[in-house]
Structure 1
Amino acid sequence: MKTISSVVEHYIKTKPFLLSALSQGIINLTSLSRNMMPELEQELGKDVKQGAVVMALKRLSEELDFRVNHKILKVLKNIGEITVRSSLIDYTFAVSETILDKQAALISEINKETGIFYTSSRGVNETNIVVSETVVHLVDKHFESEKLIQKLENLASITVKLPKENISIPGIYYFIFQRLAWEGIIINEVISTSNEFTILVSEEEVDVAFKVIKDLKSL
């Protein structure tokens, strides 16, 4: 059986930015409830009192405040080293039977260089390779016969070291990426391991993106 509380919670949770604003207590609950009323009444099939909606929102905001401000922020305050690298190129190739051999040959040559950025990831249909622009000629040589889907230039990476608790607290990545989205930052790639993640952004936006992530430590 649907209740006002369950319908209100579903409504809020399907709107991520509204969910975050509610958790921060920056929304007028009376005004919000007024805007929600038509949809809630249609969902419940009956008239709903505005006061009941306000109370449901208040309970939900208190729950979200605990979940976000006491758990997620505790992890974010302990963010470790933040490393920025510039002058990167992002390649996306179609997966093929030969692409792993090409990667092995590329890595073998890159290992002879110093200070080179290299990372790769593989999906079902695509393989992604990110390298310093100084070794672009090596990628072009080894992958000449592979199907290139996309090549992005003038990128920078931001690598963030997270405390080990991040793997047991839901919402960490959402909280970070949400704030990047608020600043209009376009994330070209996300590469992660258990306790760190790397994002690729344009070199024009890297300073803003770095500040957003750095400021999380002081929330």
Structure 2
Amino acid sequence: MKTIASCVEELLITQPFLEEALFRNIINFSALSEELQEPISQMLRKPVKTGAIMMALRRYSPPAHLRKSRQLQAILKELGDITVRSNLVDYTFQNSDTLIESHAKVLEHFNPKAFYGFSRGIYESNIVVSKSEEPKVLEGFKTENQIGYQDNLSAISIRLPVNNSKISGLYYQIFKRFAWEGIALYEVISTTNEFTVLVENHLVDQAFSAIKNLNLS
């Protein structure tokens, strides 16, 4: 059976920015209660008073990553070097029985100083390389089914603290920053202690500033 408290929780979970603002006490409970009155009344199929909603908001328990915000802030201040690589291209190929062999052909003559990233999904695989290595990719994958291509990309890589995998909410903070800045990410590449985002060239300065300012939040 739904209650006002469960409705409040359901609505806040779907709006993480609102949830964080509530946790940080930078939002007006009365105004928010009035904003939520109509959707909660619809969810419960009966009129609901704003006072009851306000009480539920004050009793709301935020998720763990918000309760541990101090720990998160400490981790963000330990973020390592930020590296930017430009003039990149991204290819998407349909997975096949021969894709690994084609990939191996590319790596045989690949410039070790060039940018390289490869990720394999269930149905497709991506390879991101420096523009200079494009002819090698085209030759190596010439028998594969290419289903996507994007050029004029830049990669921004950041070193993460070694204990980052134990901290919940870290990636949420990173993606939240991009969302707030209105930055669309073309692709994300992640290893255990390194995080890389691909953006179109015209967004690279804005994206760099967003990441750089993470430890100032």
TM norm. shorter chain > 0.5:
yes
CA contact (8 A) 2:82 2:156 kept: yes
How far is the alpha carbon of 1:179 from its aligned partner? 1.3
User: Aligned equivalents of 1:167 and 1:52: distance in 2?
Assistant: 39
How far is the alpha carbon of 1:66 from its aligned partner? 5.0
- 2:58 partner SS: helix
> Which residues of 2 match residues 138-157 of structure 1 at below 5 A?
138-157=136-155
CA contact (8 A) 2:93 2:148 kept: yes
Q: Specify the alignment match of 1:216 in structure 2.
A: 214
Determine whether 1:194 maps to 2:192.
yes
User: Aligned equivalents of 2:29 and 2:130: distance in 1?
Assistant: 50
Give unmatched runs, 5+ long, in structure 1.
none
CA contact (8 A) 2:177 2:214 kept: no
Q: Specify the alignment match of 2:134 in structure 1.
A: 136
User: Aligned equivalents of 1:178 and 1:65: distance in 2?
Assistant: 13
CA contact (8 A) 2:94 2:145 kept: yes
- Normalised to the residue count of structure 1, the TM-score between the two structures is 0.90
User: Aligned equivalents of 1:65 and 1:144: distance in 2?
Assistant: 46
> Which residues of 2 match residues 1-219 of structure 1 at below 5 A?
1-60=1-60, 67=67, 69-110=69-110, 113-219=111-217
User: Aligned equivalents of 2:53 and 2:71: distance in 1?
Assistant: 27
CA contact (8 A) 2:19 2:62 kept: no
CA contact (8 A) 2:65 2:169 kept: no
User: Aligned equivalents of 1:114 and 1:165: distance in 2?
Assistant: 29
Aligned length: 217
User: Aligned equivalents of 2:102 and 2:136: distance in 1?
Assistant: 10
CA contact (8 A) 1:87 1:132 kept: yes
How far is the alpha carbon of 1:135 from its aligned partner? 0.8
User: Aligned equivalents of 1:62 and 1:131: distance in 2?
Assistant: 41
How far is the alpha carbon of 1:151 from its aligned partner? 0.9
- 2:90 partner SS: strand
CA contact (8 A) 1:118 1:129 kept: yes
2:179 partner amino acid: A
How far is the alpha carbon of 1:165 from its aligned partner? 3.0
User: Aligned equivalents of 1:129 and 1:54: distance in 2?
Assistant: 50
RMSD, matched Cα: 2.0
How far is the alpha carbon of 1:58 from its aligned partner? 2.8
Alpha-carbon distance change, 196 to 2 in structure 1, aligned in 2, over 3 angstroms:
same
User: Aligned equivalents of 2:88 and 2:200: distance in 1?
Assistant: 9
